Amino acid sequence: MAVHERPLPRLCPQGSDVGRACERDSASRRRGEPVSLVNVARLDDLRAGQPKLVEVGGARLVLVCVKDEVYACDDVCAHQGGPLSQGKLSGVRLACPWHGWMYDVRTGECVMPGRGNRVASYATRIEGGTVWVQVP
């Protein structure tokens, strides 16, 4: 079985915000929406606390390494389109450099000002020092 055909391991605990994000990914697969596992970076290229911009099929994603986990979100702030890859990371919160909107990188949920906006987040996995992102 090719790497891109392997199912992703469950990365998130059930019942948490992160778990709900995983459940959305699983629901997409059940609805038959195509997903791909894409090699986006080497783990050695990521520095803890520093967002990294990557492009996948013309889409801009931001990767962040928090402790031993790597998270991926869209690079565009839901407020006015600021580049999240140029923002500041504090724990699991990534702040847009333009107006300070903050997102939980695990789920893409806007946590400040907390108006229900979000950015898309994507499941990740690390295999052999390579970072893979599951994209639709």
In the chain, where the domains are located: 12-135
Per-residue tokens: 50: 């520093």
User: What is the dotted CATH code of the domain comprising 12-135?
Assistant: 2.102.10.10
pLDDT digits (tens, 9 = 90+) for 33-92: 678 999 999 999 999 999 999 999 899 999 999 998 999 999 999 999 999 999 999 999
| pLDDT above 50: residue 21 | no
**pTM of the complete model:** 0.75
pLDDT-based confidence at 26, cuts 50/70/90? very low
